[in-house]
Chain A
């Protein structure tokens, strides 16, 4: 891995030097920091410490036009969406970047999902190592770390006056081509500073969950009556799933009239009763506790068994945002205890 140094005050020049691509970054302003397209780099104020902004929308937008249609003489004409433009995402956290590693097999295995894949291929991820993990973070428990480079093309770490730049992939190297003159080689002392910064961040993480063999424990725990109580607090909203960087369920809807319109995919949440309800009104997962159980099973058992990854990156958003403190660490710990594992 190539390492470089970037003076902090040259950050905006660095971003401009990437040239000719769409830039998406966490931009402060208004009531809440949002991950959005940056029109004017000079005017933008980046908020690299904000942690609630969801980032999965970069690859998996909440609304995605799948195709447009219009009725023509004696039939229907379908117009596919254009390939997304080259994009650089700046300031994504290592945990959020790891989420794409878990989503990749889902969207590309068996059937290729062109919408996700094309965005993924067109996007370079420049991460920002997490300096201030919060009191809900638990990324080490799921195999991540505040300075993980997994899924990233480039990682910047704040080491005081400069950013320590790790160029992780060939794609990252290519993207940084135009900014080469702003970078200088990292010295041994910088390396040490970087290590110290990483250690400091890692030490700030205080919550954890034991996931050893969780994919085997959960199926055994499926029929436990205690799920009813564990899920009793849940109010069935979509706050956990919509803010989760690895939740990927979606709904497909048509908009417009039979003469003209679009087919659209939008996020959906397994915590809503409508998610599974049949047209006949029959709902295989009627109770909120059944839906909560399914979410846990999916993330920590089904998904790892099918695709090899735990579908959780330990960002803690679901824990922080849940209106009723339905805490997955607490749930998984209780389940493990109940199974005497």
Chain B
């Protein structure tokens, strides 16, 4: 193994699952690092990211959406957006992608033991929260509760729907779904996530709230959490920015004094507030 942090490692695509369709489809890739030693040393925590790349095309920072409790493989939910993600969407099981990481600060899930966990996601923003959800699911006795509020533009844009349904069925979590606009066959809530949050009025007592989604959604969810009397140390979010190196050198993701790749992507509300003017 090299000490060069820029050198990526081969990973085999094990499974590709189509999550959503449309113009910006989302696929979830299950990958396995080929080298057993690399596999052992690749120890991610919920919320961390990895650089996923294809030689000749480039790399992209993607949050690892599987929980560390899922051994042996890594999962990434990727929306087809730019040059790299479009190329990734062409990959099939058996193909090779390149990985390096894990990068960034993780959610302090161990510190949250004994608390209720409230995950608030929007669109593909559920992906970075999924490791928390699965981690809590797999260590359910350590946590007092698991609530999920999740929304997307249309019912077709909701990701991990079967998993959420499963959580609900097994009573592991309470799951509240919403979509932005009315749709045929949709019996759930209609409305934006921040408003739905206010409607649901979750109690801040012994609760940790974590949110991720489009920047504008994050902004309003955080404001509404404060309205619901959540304290600053009870709120976490995870951000993204354009990234290239992943290790705080290239300067792309620099916001204020922090580099999102190295000092983030997980931020407490207190930190987030200091970054806000420059976001």
Report A's interface with B, CB cutoff 8 A: 66-67, 69, 71, 74-76, 78, 80, 106-107, 110-114, 222-223, 248-261, 263, 265, 268, 270, 275-280, 282, 284-285, 290, 294, 297-298, 301-302, 305-306
Contact = CB atoms under 8 A, between A and B. Distances in A.
Given A276-B241, A302-B257, A110 B4 contact: no
A275 B252 contact: yes
A250 B249 contact: yes
Interface stretch (B52-60, B182-190, B264-272): B52-60
A276 B242 CA distance: 6
B4 A76 contact: no
Contact of B55 (A69, A107, A113, A248): A69
A191 B255 CA distance: 48
A76 B254 contact: no
Nearest to B54: A258
A298 B254 contact: yes
Contacts of B83: 279
Contacts of A74: 96
A258 B250 contact: no
B85 interface: yes
Interface string B260-279: 00100000000000000111
B244 A284 contact: no
B242 A223 contact: no
23 contacts: A71-B55, A76-B55, A80-B7, A111-B249, A114-B3, A249-B250, A249-B251, A250-B244, A250-B251, A251-B250, A253-B58, A254-B55, A260-B56, A268-B251, A275-B252, A276-B252, A278-B240, A279-B60, A284-B279, A285-B278, A294-B254, A294-B278, A297-B256
Contacts of B257: 301-302, 305-306
A280 B4 contact: no
A268 B253 CA distance: 13
B261 to A, nearest CB: 10
Nearest to B59: A252
Contacts of B4: 67, 80, 114
A305 B263 CA distance: 14
Contacts of A252: 6, 58-59, 244-245, 250
A284 B255 contact: yes
B2 A80 contact: yes
A253 B7 CA distance: 14
Contact of B248 (A110, A270, A294): A110
Which of B83, B240, B248, B251 gathers the greatest number of chain A CB atoms within 10 Å? B251
9 A-B pairs with the lowest CB-CB distances in the bound complex, closest first: A279-B82, A249-B251, A111-B247, A258-B56, A279-B81, A69-B55, A252-B244, A302-B257, A111-B5
Given A76-B96, A111-B5, A285-B278, 9 more contacts: A69-B55, A69-B56, A78-B8, A111-B262, A249-B251, A250-B245, A250-B251, A279-B83, A306-B257
Contacts of A69: 55-56
Given A111-B248, A112-B5, A248-B249, A258 B279 contact: no
Mostly, the A contact residues are: mixed
Interface string B78-121: 00011101000000000010100000000000000000000000
A156 to B, nearest CB: 33
A106 to B, nearest CB: 7
B250 A268 contact: yes
Interface residues of B, number: 43
B10 interface: yes
B277 A223 contact: yes
Contacts of B82: 279
Contacts of A66: 6-7
Which of A66, A69, A76, A249 gathers the greatest number of chain B CB atoms within 10 Å? A76
Given A80-B7, A306-B257, A250 B55 contact: no
Nearest to B5: A111
A75 B34 contact: yes
B85 A279 contact: yes
Contacts of B98: 76
B248 A277 contact: no
Nearest to A276: B242
Contacts of B56: 69, 254-261
Contact of B262 (A110, A249, A282, A285): A110
B94 to A, nearest CB: 8
Contacts of A251: 244, 250, 252
B215 interface: yes
A250 B250 contact: yes
Contacts of B215: 282
Interface in B183-237: 215
Contacts of A265: 250
Contacts of B8: 78
A222 B255 CA distance: 12
Nearest to A298: B254
A99 to B, nearest CB: 15
Interface string B1-36: 011111110100000000000000000000000100
